[in-house]
């Protein structure tokens, strides 16, 4: 079955891509064989993250428009909160990208977090690699924007774009330890609002200490996603960082992070919480550490 999917996927068939993602996402028998046949790809993964309400979906919509205008093929993975009833994705923000759903050079897929604490889909690495094999020039991954996802995206994306708004001063201050480490590009969206320039100036001062520990300067780009102002500058900043990343130490760090995640996932695949519960119930004088060590 997967051989036919794999052939159609490489031909750029959008239906085959959608079926392959479902095949991998649901871990259907044979999905590991398919993953092992995926070819190498130079498609860059662009992570878009930031707090809720920063305008991430509108920014992605504008960024797709800029890429399409330059004849690029774009794959988009939107990671949404899960429904508490069926663990499916809550697709409210996707209406902002509705004009691209039937465009031949754009493929958009919403994924649920499925309860993953980090705010990314548990199979996000594998699904992103499937997208890369479909011949896209760029893969955009938009996170939920809650909890640890702002940090977790750094282990997946070649370029991490952190989106904030001028009113986010205190919020950035609280998150800054993690954000300063992972951000390759900062976007100050909705920059037509009052005090945007002051916010950018303060953000530069906050970022200054991080520059001493990094190879490259963290760029700050002002945008107004709804009018597509500043989007061209943002795309240029992303392209520049993608090019630099091909020869940087981060490339190998990313591969090590992905390998660690996949090994961890593979080692845990046969371990069931319900089985653990039953075994623990049946044990007398349980020493949890000895139990785990012998498992």
Same domain membership, residue 124 and residue 60: yes
CA 83 from centroid of its chain's CA atoms: 19
pLDDT of amino acid 233: 97
pLDDT of amino acid 153: 73
Same domain membership, residue 81 and residue 46: yes
Q: What is the pLDDT along the chain (295 residues), one digit of tens a residue?
A: 677 888 888 888 899 999 999 999 888 988 888 999 998 888 899 999 888 788 898 999 999 999 999 999 999 998 865 444 344 444 445 556 777 878 999 999 988 765 444 456 778 889 999 999 999 999 999 886 644 445 567 778 899 999 989 886 655 655 555 666 778 899 999 999 988 998 898 888 877 765 555 666 789 999 999 999 999 999 999 999 998 877 667 778 778 878 887 888 888 888 888 888 888 888 888 888 788 888 7
Same domain membership, residue 123 and residue 26: no
Same domain membership, residue 237 and residue 256: no
pLDDT of amino acid 76: 93
Query: Domain span at residue 206?
Result: 39-247
- Which tokens hold the place of 34? 């398919």
Write out pLDDT tens, residues 15-59: 999 999 999 988 898 888 899 999 888 889 999 988 878 889 899
Same domain membership, residue 151 and residue 43: yes
Same domain membership, residue 199 and residue 158: yes
Collect all residues with Cβ–Cβ distance below 8 Å to 136 and sequence separation of at least 6. Answer: 43, 73, 74, 75, 107
Q: How many domains does the chain have?
A: 3
Same domain membership, residue 200 and residue 117: yes
Q: Which of 247, 264, 285 is the last residue of a domain?
A: 247
Collect all residues with Cβ–Cβ distance below 8 Å to 196 and sequence separation of at least 6. Answer: 166, 188, 190, 222
- Which tokens hold the place of 79? 């990671």
Same domain membership, residue 293 and residue 223: no
Q: Are 80 and 89 in contact (CB under 8 A)?
A: yes
pLDDT of amino acid 95: 57
Same domain membership, residue 147 and residue 85: yes
Distance CA 188, CA 68 (A): 23
pLDDT of amino acid 217: 76
Distance CA 200, CA 198 (A): 5
pLDDT of amino acid 145: 62
pLDDT of amino acid 140: 95
- Which tokens hold the place of 281? 């119930």
Question: Residue 240 sits in a domain of what CATH number?
Answer: 3.40.50.300
Sequence-ordered strand ranges (E) for 157-289: 159-164, 185-188, 219-222
Distance CA 224, CA 58 (A): 9
pTM: 0.83
Same domain membership, residue 216 and residue 101: yes
Same domain membership, residue 58 and residue 146: yes
> Residue holding tokens 């800029």?
66
Same domain membership, residue 212 and residue 74: yes
The side-by-side arrangement of strands in the sheet containing 74-80 is 106-112, 74-80, 138-142, 44-49, 159-164, 185-188, 219-222
Distance CA 260, CA 275 (A): 25
pLDDT of amino acid 143: 82
């Amino acid at each position: 079955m997967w051989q036919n999917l794999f052939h159609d996927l490489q031909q750029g068939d959008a239906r085959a891509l959608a079926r392959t993602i479902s095949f991998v996402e649901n871990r259907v028998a044979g999905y590991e064989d398919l993953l092992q046949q995926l070819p190498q790809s130079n498609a860059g993964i662009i992570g878009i993250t930031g707090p809720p309400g920063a305008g991430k979906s509108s920014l992605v919509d504008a960024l797709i428009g800029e890429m399409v205008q330059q004849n690029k093929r774009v794959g988009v993975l939107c990671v949404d909160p899960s429904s508490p009833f069926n663990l499916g994705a809550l697709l409210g923000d996707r209406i902002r990208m509705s004009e691209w759903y039937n465009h031949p050079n754009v493929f958009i897929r919403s994924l649920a977090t499925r309860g993953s604490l980090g705010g990314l889909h548990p199979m996000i690495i594998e699904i992103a690699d499937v997208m890369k094999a479909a011949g896209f020039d760029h893969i955009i991954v938009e996170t939920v924007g809650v909890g640890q996802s702002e940090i977790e995206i750094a282990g997946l994306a070649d370029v991490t774009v952190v989106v904030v708004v001028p009113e986010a001063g205190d919020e950035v201050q609280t998150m800054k330890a993690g954000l300063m480490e992972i951000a390759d590009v900062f976007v100050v969206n909705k920059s037509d609002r009052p005090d945007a320039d002051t916010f950018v100036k303060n953000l530069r001062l906050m970022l200054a200490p991080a520059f001493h520990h990094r190879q490259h300067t963290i760029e700050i780009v002002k945008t107004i996603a709804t009018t597509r102002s500043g989007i061209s500058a943002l795309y240029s900043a992303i392209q520049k960082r993608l090019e630099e990343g091909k020869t940087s130490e981060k490339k190998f760090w990313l591969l090590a992070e992905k390998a660690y995640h996949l090994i961890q996932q593979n080692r845990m695949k046969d371990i069931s919480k319900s089985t653990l519960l039953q075994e623990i119930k049946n044990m007398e004088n349980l020493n949890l550490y000895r139990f785990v060590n012998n498992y």
